[in-house]
Structure formats: C-alpha cells, structure tokens
Amino acid sequence: MFADNVLIVTIVAAFLIAVLIGPLFIPFLRRLKFGQAIREEGPQSHQKKAGTPTMGGTIILLALIFTVLKFANSSMEVTFLLLVTLGYGLIGFMDDFLKIRRKHNLGLTAKQKFAGQILLAIGAYILLIMMGHDTSLHLPGTPWKLELGYFYFPFLLFLLVGTTNAVNITDGLDGLLAGTGAIAFGAYAIIAWFGQNYDTAIFSAAVVGGVLGFLVFNAHPARVFMGDTGSLALGGALAGIAIMTKTELLLAIIGGVFVVETLSVILQVISFKTRGKRIFRMSPLHHHFELTGWSEWRVVVTFWLVGMFFAGLGVYLEVVTIK
C-alpha cells in the first residue's frame, strides 16, 4: 500500500516540513535583516515589497533534502539530482547574500554566475559519464531519437544554464514561480513514475511538496521571497529531472511558461537594440500584463493555468510514447 501511495506521502511530508520550518525561518531572516532589494527599473508598485525577507528558497531545499533522504534510495540518480539542485542553489545563495550585504539588487556579476553554472555543468557531465548515461535525445510524442555522442555536452550545458536562468526570470511576482514550478515538477513526478524512474519520481514529488509548503508563505502578499537561492535551485532540479527521465526536449513543453518568459526578454532586447522600440511594456512578460492593468493575483493565476496546459500536454505526449 505504501509503495502505491509513495508519491502522495512524499508530497505531504515535504509540504509539512516546509510549513513547519517557515514560521521559524522567516523571523530568523528578519532578525538578520535579509530583506529583498527591489529593482528600480521594475514596476513602481513593487517598491513597497522592499525589505521582505529573501533567501526563502532555503525552506524548499531543507524540505527536499529531508524528504528525499527518507523516501528515496541512495542511488546515483539521486546523487546527480542533488548535485545540480544544491549546486545551483549555492550559486543563488551567494548571489542573494551579496545583494543583502551590499544593500543593492546586484550580487554576483553575470560573468561570475555564468562561470559557476558552467563549472557545475562540467561536474554534472562527468557524473553522467560515470553513470553510463544515454547521450541520445528522444523526440516528444514519437519513438524516434537522435544520438548526440560527444555533442551531448554542449547540449547539456545549454540545457542546465538555460533552464536555471529561465526559471530565475519567472520569479518576479508573489507565488508565480512557486505555483508554476509545482505544476511542472508534478508533471515530471508522473512521467518519472510511468517510466519506472522511481527515485526521480520521489525526488520530483519532494520538490512539489516543498514548493507548495513554501507557497503558503509566498502567496500574495508574500511574507518571504525564494530569492535566487530557490529559483536557481529549482531550475537546476528541473533540468536534472529532464535529464534523468530522458525527456530533455520535452522540458521545453512542460516548462512552456519559463520558455515564453525568456523569449519575451530576448525579443524585447532585440527589438529595442535594432529598432529602438519595445514590443512589451516591460519584460519579462508577467510585468507587461501588470502594466496593462491586471492585478498581480490575476497575472499569477493566469500563468498557473497556462502552466497546467503545458504540463498536461507534456504528460500526454510522454505517457503515450511510453505506452
């Protein structure tokens, strides 16, 4: 019976741990004066959020670690997933810490972040080689696959760095990333379970529970922000799970919200530099809808619904392929 319900048990356990940690950890962040600095170029309505405790992603990571150690096996798959999750989370933690110390919304430089992300990708690739990982890519919804061989490394680098930054970009409104993240990881828990990748499924479920527990404190009006500590860690975890389930290309569908958010930034920059005009009132896309008059809560819920559509499509394509 426990084996049949292990995903639900894992989600509930991680959720409860996060909910219990939150009331202890948030006042601790306040005492340390770990408040969020708000970008001056962002929406003016966000300036009132200045000083809200950040680095709340630590709550998610603690819930994840405790739950995974309890319910998952000590496998190479779990080791890999913890490496990319905690590794990128550490980069985010350093970025958050420097922002707080400098009392400005600038932490690590872009070059420093990128260097750290590349080093982690190299470490992840070495571990995959040791695991004898399949270097082919499976085309979603088809039985076809493309063997990359040595070219799998640059693809892996793009996947890890791209996903972590795309997820980070999405973390701009109360509950936005927590909700869309829970949906995406929930989809991967199902996919991993159907693919008999049980440790990966449990890991995914643990993230779902931890993120939902964090959402209790992060929903509008947020009492704590996850910071780069949480957003980069979630991005690393999402990419890592896609790698373990051999659904690297499917990630673009399941994480469709993150892709759209990133494209909105890229298109905005290209348009402004080439034509001197902006496509959106502000990027990422969630800020555009805010500036058109939508309430923050309306934007967040709409993005959650879009995330559910992408996640459902991804699960459908993969489960059909597996069957």
- For 18-66, write each residue's pLDDT tens digit: 999 999 999 888 887 776 665 655 555 555 666 688 899 999 999 999 9
Whether the pTM exceeds 0.85: the reply is yes
Please give the share of the chain, as a percent, with pLDDT higher than 70.
Answer: 91
For the chain, give the mean pLDDT.
Answer: 90
Q: How many CB atoms lie within 10 A of CB 114?
A: 14
Q: DSSP secondary structure string, 121-159?
A: HHHHHHHHHHHT---EEEPTTSS-EEE-GGGHHHHHHHH
pLDDT of residue 142: 83
pLDDT band at 312 (very low <50, low <70, confident <90, very high): very high
pLDDT, one tens digit per residue, over 183-207 is 999 999 999 999 999 999 999 999 9
Query: DSSP class of residue 74?
Result: -
| Residue 52 dihedral angles phi and psi, to the nearest 5° | -60, 130
Per the annotation, where are the binding residues for Mg(2+)? 168, 228
Only one residue has tokens 């400098």, namely: 102
Total domain count, the chain? 1
pLDDT of residue 319: 82
pLDDT band at 294 (very low <50, low <70, confident <90, very high): very high
Question: Hey, CA dihedral for 14, 258, 96, 123, is it positive or negative?
Answer: positive
pLDDT band at 1 (very low <50, low <70, confident <90, very high): very low
Record the tokens describing residue 297, joined without a space. Answer: 């809560």
| Strand 136-138, strand 145-147: pairing | antiparallel
pLDDT average, residue stretch 203-223: 95
Please give the share of the chain, as a percent, with pLDDT higher than 90.
Answer: 73
Residue (of 236, 253, 252) closest to 244 by Cα position: 236
The percent of the chain in helix, strand and coil, each rounded to the nearest 5, is 70, 0, 25
pLDDT average, residue stretch 299-312: 97
Of 49-63, 94-108, 177-191, 285-299, the range with the lowest mean pLDDT is: 94-108
pLDDT of residue 158: 96
pLDDT surpasses 50 at 129: yes
pLDDT average, residue stretch 259-272: 94
Domain that holds residue 312: 3-319
pLDDT average, residue stretch 131-145: 90
pLDDT of residue 321: 63
CA 90 to chain centre: 14
pLDDT of residue 250: 96
pLDDT of residue 44: 56
pLDDT band at 2 (very low <50, low <70, confident <90, very high): very low
Report CA Rg, the chain. 19
Per the annotation, where are the binding residues? 168, 228
